[in-house]
């Protein structure tokens, strides 16, 4: 029996993780759940899964829950410190990190410091502080198991093969909702069309990132840091069917790919059950019906966020953190209807142009770069 805590249990990955867990009551027990402020859904999850510990990061929502929660069986933590306290609880065997954005960084570092095994869905923390995170995991001899479908695929295909035998990674991308939309039409794109991803149903932030292809840019950096692979060896490949979740090409020309139906519960289940595989009733690919697989080169002109991510991957230091922070601001401004879709890459580029990357940054440098980039992004938006 593995005792699992899910950080960000009220989000898309969190809810899917609970769906997986509910099928295997004799293998997994939910011991901790957290949300930023969605106490309505958290309350339902508490009733169903009876976790011993919960945390609400937002203070106001936390105090509102305290008024109605029966704390005899469930201990409630509140705020950022509360989240760190929950992560440190001895009885937790595995932490699923499904908080979106930079807010995942400190809880992730705390979890690793405590030697916890982490099933990592969040990509922004790795983009911000990949080398720090991976060093800490090595030092504490703990595992980071990828949940993001592409990273799970690469991890499974790489196996124990030494990096010297690797030629390329093909990081696949569905291409998002605007793969075939003309550049002119991108100027007047609405929020609802951005959020309607053709293949995946996800949280709002990652849906916007999928439409700009910044999601793939963030995954380029995620892949680099998670597996220690330079960006020149990572090729982004458009694959609209989203059945191949990525491929690894070795020096002898052999390519291994991981395929499964387009359903996040599959990589989530493997991240929970690893090193075992458990039989389930999730959808499978019908290859007789499928017949063909399609691929294309990404269009870097139409999706400039890809170039920005490769640039951050070359410059390294604090630049990936700056890319991520500026992107979080523009995505939230776009969702608030204060910024047009095509301005997204322009603002990020402006912030990156103004940044002098600090190499081998400490955590304090990363947090300072994150704060600086957010302020610069707001300035750049005002200047548009």
SS (H, E, C) 152-213: HHHHHHHCCCCHHHEEEEEEEECCCCCCCCCCCHHHHCCHHHHHCCCCCCCCHHHHHHHHHC
Nearer to Mg ion, 207 or 343 (CB): 207
Q: How many residues make contact with Mg ion (CB under 5 A)?
A: 3
Spatial distance between the Cα atoms of 371 and 313, rounded to a whole number of angstroms: 20
> Residue of minimal CB distance from Mg ion?
148
Which residues, 6 or more positions from 15, have their beta carbon under 8 angstroms from its beta carbon?
Answer: 9, 41
Q: Supply φ then ψ for residue 34, to 5 degrees.
A: -140, 155
Q: Which residue is nearest to ligand NAD (CB)?
A: 11
Give the strand order in the sheet containing 75-78: 75-78, 53-56, 28-35, 2-7, 94-97, 117-120, 144-146
Site string for Mg ion, 95-134 (x = CB under 5 A): ----------------------------------------
CB of 155 to Mg ion, least distance (A): 13
Stretch that binds Mg ion, among 90-98, 147-155, 222-230, 332-340 (CB under 5 A): 147-155
The option from Mg ion, ligand NAD, none interacting with 150 (CB < 5 to 8 A, set by class) reads Mg ion
3-state secondary structure at position 312: helix
Nearer to ligand NAD, 206 or 347 (CB): 206
Asked if residue 12 binds ligand NAD (CB under 6 A), the reply is yes
Map the footprint of ligand NAD across residues 111-140, applying CB under 6 A: 121-124
Cα distance from N-terminal residue to C-terminal residue, the chain: 55
Contact predicate 137/156, CB 8 Å: no
CB of 292 to ligand NAD, least distance (A): 25
Q: Does 99 bind ligand NAD (CB under 6 A)?
A: yes
Q: Which does 100 bind (CB under 5 to 8 A by kind): ligand NAD, Mg ion, none?
A: ligand NAD
Site for Mg ion in 35-74 (CB under 5 A): none
Selected from 148, 222, 333, 376, the binder of Mg ion by CB under 5 A is: 148
- Check residue 36 for interaction with ligand NAD (CB under 6 A): yes
Binding segment (CB under 6 A) for ligand NAD, from list 35-43, 303-311, 312-320, 356-364: 35-43
**What's the CA gap between 184 and 141, in Å, rounded?**
51
Strands (E), 36-116: 53-56, 75-78, 94-97
Position among 57, 212, 260, 318 found at the interface with ligand NAD (CB under 6 A): 57
Question: What is the C-alpha to C-alpha distance for residues 281 and 265, in angstroms, rounded to an integer?
Answer: 11
Residues engaged in binding Mg ion (CB under 5 A): 148-150
Residues engaged in binding ligand NAD (CB under 6 A): 8-14, 35-36, 38, 57, 98-101, 103, 121-124, 148, 200, 202-203, 205-206, 264
């Amino acid at each position: 029996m593995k005792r699992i805590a899910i950080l960000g249990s009220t989000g898309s990955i969190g809810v899917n993780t609970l769906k997986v867990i509910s099928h295997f009551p004799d293998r997994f027990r939910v011991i901790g759940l957290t949300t930023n402020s969605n106490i309505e859904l958290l309350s339902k999850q508490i009733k169903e899964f009876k976790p011993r510990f919960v945390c609400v990061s937002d203070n106001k929502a936390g105090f509102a829950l305290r008024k109605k929660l029966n704390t005899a069986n469930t201990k409630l933590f509140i705020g950022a410190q509360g989240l760190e306290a929950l992560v440190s609880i001895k009885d937790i065997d595995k932490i699923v990190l499904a908080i979106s954005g930079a807010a995942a960084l400190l809880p992730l570092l705390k979890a690793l410091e405590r030697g916890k095994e982490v099933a990592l869905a969040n990509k922004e923390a790795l983009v911000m502080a990949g080398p720090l995170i991976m060093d800490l995991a090595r030092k504490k001899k703990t595992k980071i198991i990828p949940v993001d479908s592409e990273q799970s695929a690469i991890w499974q295909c790489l196996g124990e093969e030494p990096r010297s035998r690797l030629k390329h990674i093909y990081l696949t991308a569905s291409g998002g909702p605007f793969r075939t939309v003309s550049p002119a039409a991108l100027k007047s794109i609405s929020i609802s069309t951005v959020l309607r991803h053709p293949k995946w149903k996800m949280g709002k932030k990652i849906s916007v990132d999928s439409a700009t292809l910044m999601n793939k840019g963030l995954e380029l950096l995620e892949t680099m840091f998670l597996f220690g692979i330079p960006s020149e060896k990572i090729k982004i490949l458009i694959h609209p069917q989203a059945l191949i979740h990525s491929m690894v090409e070795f020096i002898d020309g052999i390519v291994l790919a991981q395929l499964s139906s387009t359903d996040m519960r599959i990589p989530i289940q493997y991240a929970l059950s690893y090193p075992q595989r458990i039989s389930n009733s999730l959808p499978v690919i019908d290859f007789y019906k499928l017949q063909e697989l399609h691929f294309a080169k990404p269009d870097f002109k139409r999706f400039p966020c890809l170039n920005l991510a490769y640039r951050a991957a070359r410059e390294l230091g604090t630049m990936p953190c700056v890319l991520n922070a500026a992107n979080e601001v523009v995505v939230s401004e776009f969702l608030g209807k204060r910024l047009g879709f095509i301005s997204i890459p322009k603002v990020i580029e402006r912030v990156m142009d103004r940044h002098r990357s600090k190499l081998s940054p400490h955590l304090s440098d990363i947090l300072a770069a994150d704060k600086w980039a957010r302020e610069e992004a707001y300035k750049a938006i005002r200047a548009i």
